[in-house]
Chains A and B, each alone.
Chain A
Amino acid sequence: MAGLAILKRIYLAVYNWVVFAGWLQVLYWAVQTLRTSGYEAVYAAVERPLQFAQTAAILEIFHGMFGLVRSPVSATLPQIGSRIYVTWAILWSFPETRTSPIVSSLVLSWSITELIRYSFFGMREAFGITPSFLQWLRYSTFYILYPTGISSEVGLILTALPYVKVSEKYCLRMPNRLNIAFDNYFATLFTLASYIPGSPYMYTYMIGQRAKALAKAKKSA
């Protein structure tokens, strides 16, 4: 019914613009800190808005699952999964990684990509317009930002590896009554390995999305 559709639209509009505001803060503080203090201080400056904006994205899995948006769960899950992993299981869990210059490239890649994405969807939901410039940005900047973002993610995970091994953080050892064990070092290696099929999959998915979006734009032109 019409009421539900309007409610959905308001919710999505609010969601997209609120998270947009979060990423705006991330970009602002990242750039400010780089100009004044240097790359070692970037994480400390962006931590809160970064954690907020990135964690909020978990909702997008449910948006896809419940049909609020058209994106398939198969594309949103790996994307959000890797982001949450790096944000919480690497940066937050292993403070030794926070002073790396890779944090800057990560945060810049993520925030620029997300600002474009959330403003694009925010415009569409709140105002019903899809400015062609924004659409072009959304379906073109990923060519650069996906590789820089993914390399930064992998780079940070590699940076964390020795600390993961030595600290034994999150490890579950046997013997125990449930006869289960978890080795974080192996799990981290496995996660790194998953980037090998995962990255081409996401990259080609975006290329496919670009082709579809441009074809649609051409048809309605």
Chain B
Amino acid sequence: MLVTVTSRSGKEVVKGGIQLSENATVKDLKASIHKRTGKLYPERQRLSLPLVSGQTRPTVLDGDKRLCDVFPEGSDHIVILKDLGPQVKYSTLFFFEYVGPLFIYPMFYFLPLYKFVGLPEKRVIHPVQTYATIYWCFHYFKRIMETFFVHKFSHATSPLSFVFRNCCYYWSFAVFIAYFVNHPYYTPVGETQMYIGFGLGIICQLANFYCHIILKNLRDPKGQGGYQIPRGFLFNYITCANYTTEIYQWLGFNIATQTVAGYSFLVVAAYIMSDWALGKHRRLKKLYDGKEGRVKYPNRFVILPPFL
């Protein structure tokens, strides 16, 4: 069959279209487009069908579907191609996000940086500051290890611009928090409060790791898409228990270190994660609606019992 490939404005992207066998899939089409255009590797392509009257959002084409199944009866074989821009793997994105805080924070602990803002170079290092550095670095080291050895990613890629945007977020907060926790005039909290804080944090990091293991095992080893209902451990009560444990882990860090910087990071992170959690919760409820023999998604908290 002959498939015409146009841009969203209607201009033909691949002159003369692409000839494919009757059994070809969307994946084959993307590979052919890549061959013909050179720079548009498959992850950069978003293929959709032309909008039907009344449609606001286009039907995006799924990689494994056969082309003959995708085109409506008797229609012209036209696909619309959107260039998603340069893409990076999720693991690449996460690595750069996390490596910044991993190195930035200890700089404020070890190096005499405060003299550059006119503060005394000599300072007394409180135990909590040492523990905080270890805790923080362990946290981001754990995240990097999980990125390469635990997580199984769904979409293969993310836009390159996300690297700059996300690194700004993580790295700026790292500077903000590290500056104040390691400050020469830092005021530590009482010992009991410190132990409670770090204790909570460690427990929640362990719980968070276990949540990640459960999520990893949910995924089909062949990398098939589709959402599964998470089960076991805290997931029986909370849809995004992994985010819950992450938030409480930061709460522990803040109880121990007590800075406005740290708490503001907690608030922003909780807000972002709640946004994601609501999306995931809704998708799961929609997918598992209990109709036509499908399982009904159980009643669970979204992310932060008892509020959400």
Interface residues of A (CB under 8 A from B): 174-181
Q: Is B185 an interface residue (CB 8 A)?
A: yes
Q: Which of chain A's residues have a CB closer than 8 A to the CB of B183?
A: 174, 179, 181
**Residue among B181, B185, B258, B261 making CB contact with A175, cutoff 8 Å:** B185
How far, in angstroms, from A177 to B181 measured CA to CA in the complex? Answer: 12
Determine if B260 and A175 form an interchain contact, defined as CB atoms under 8 angstroms apart: no
How far, in angstroms, from A124 to B185 measured CA to CA in the complex? Answer: 57
A178 and chain B: residue at smallest CB distance:
B260
Q: Which of chain B's residues have a CB closer than 8 A to the CB of A179?
A: 180-181, 183, 186-187, 257-261
Determine if B180 and A180 form an interchain contact, defined as CB atoms under 8 angstroms apart: yes
How far, in angstroms, from A178 to B180 measured CA to CA in the complex? Answer: 10
How far, in angstroms, from A181 to B119 measured CA to CA in the complex? Answer: 13
A182 and chain B: residue at smallest CB distance:
B260
| Interchain nearest-CB distance for B105 vs A (Å) | 15
Determine if B259 and A178 form an interchain contact, defined as CB atoms under 8 angstroms apart: yes
Query: How big is chain B's contact interface, by range?
Result: 10 to 19
Interface contacts (Cβ under 8 Å), in number, total 29
How far, in angstroms, from A174 to B183 measured CA to CA in the complex? Answer: 9
Determine if B186 and A175 form an interchain contact, defined as CB atoms under 8 angstroms apart: yes
Q: Which of chain B's residues have a CB closer than 8 A to the CB of A175?
A: 185-187
What are the 9 tightest A-B residue pairs by CB atom distance, in nearest-first order? A180-B260, A174-B185, A179-B259, A175-B185, A175-B187, A178-B260, A179-B180, A179-B186, A177-B187
Sample 28 A-B pairs with CB under 8 A, ordered by A number: A174-B183, A174-B185, A174-B186, A174-B187, A175-B185, A175-B187, A176-B187, A177-B187, A177-B258, A178-B258, A178-B259, A178-B260, A179-B180, A179-B181, A179-B183, A179-B186, A179-B187, A179-B257, A179-B258, A179-B259, A179-B260, A179-B261, A180-B180, A180-B259, A180-B260, A180-B261, A181-B180, A181-B183
How far, in angstroms, from A168 to B257 measured CA to CA in the complex? Answer: 27
| Interchain nearest-CB distance for B66 vs A (Å) | 43
B260 and chain A: residue at smallest CB distance:
A180
How far, in angstroms, from A191 to B185 measured CA to CA in the complex? Answer: 26
How far, in angstroms, from A181 to B186 measured CA to CA in the complex? Answer: 10
How far, in angstroms, from A158 to B260 measured CA to CA in the complex? Answer: 30
| Interchain nearest-CB distance for B260 vs A (Å) | 4
| Interchain nearest-CB distance for A96 vs B (Å) | 24
| Interchain nearest-CB distance for B134 vs A (Å) | 19
Q: Which of chain A's residues have a CB closer than 8 A to the CB of B261?
A: 179-180
Q: Which of chain B's residues have a CB closer than 8 A to the CB of A178?
A: 258-260
Q: Which of chain B's residues have a CB closer than 8 A to the CB of A181?
A: 180, 183
* Sample of 14 more A-B contacts, CB < 8 Å, known A178-B260, A179-B187: A174-B183, A174-B186, A174-B187, A175-B186, A176-B187, A177-B187, A177-B258, A179-B180, A179-B181, A179-B260, A180-B180, A180-B260, A181-B180, A181-B183
| Interchain nearest-CB distance for B176 vs A (Å) | 10
A183 and chain B: residue at smallest CB distance:
B117
Q: Using an 8 Å CB-CB cutoff, how does the interface string of B109-141 with A read, 1 for contact, 0 for none?
A: 000000000000000000000000000000000
A180 and chain B: residue at smallest CB distance:
B260
How far, in angstroms, from A175 to B187 measured CA to CA in the complex? Answer: 6
How far, in angstroms, from A176 to B181 measured CA to CA in the complex? Answer: 12
How far, in angstroms, from A126 to B186 measured CA to CA in the complex? Answer: 57
B184 and chain A: residue at smallest CB distance:
A174
| Interchain nearest-CB distance for A30 vs B (Å) | 41
| Interchain nearest-CB distance for B120 vs A (Å) | 12
Q: Which of chain A's residues have a CB closer than 8 A to the CB of B259?
A: 178-180
Q: Which of chain B's residues have a CB closer than 8 A to the CB of A177?
A: 187, 258
B179 and chain A: residue at smallest CB distance:
A181
How far, in angstroms, from A176 to B258 measured CA to CA in the complex? Answer: 11
A175 and chain B: residue at smallest CB distance:
B185
A176 and chain B: residue at smallest CB distance:
B187
A186 and chain B: residue at smallest CB distance:
B117
How far, in angstroms, from A178 to B254 measured CA to CA in the complex? Answer: 11
Q: Which of chain A's residues have a CB closer than 8 A to the CB of B260?
A: 178-180
Q: Which of chain A's residues have a CB closer than 8 A to the CB of B186?
A: 174-175, 179
How far, in angstroms, from A179 to B260 measured CA to CA in the complex? Answer: 7
How far, in angstroms, from A180 to B181 measured CA to CA in the complex? Answer: 9
How far, in angstroms, from A175 to B180 measured CA to CA in the complex? Answer: 10
Q: Using an 8 Å CB-CB cutoff, how does the interface string of B233-264 with A read, 1 for contact, 0 for none?
A: 00000000000000000000000011111000
Q: Which of A174, A176, A177 has the most CB of B within 10 A?
A: A174
How far, in angstroms, from A177 to B185 measured CA to CA in the complex? Answer: 10
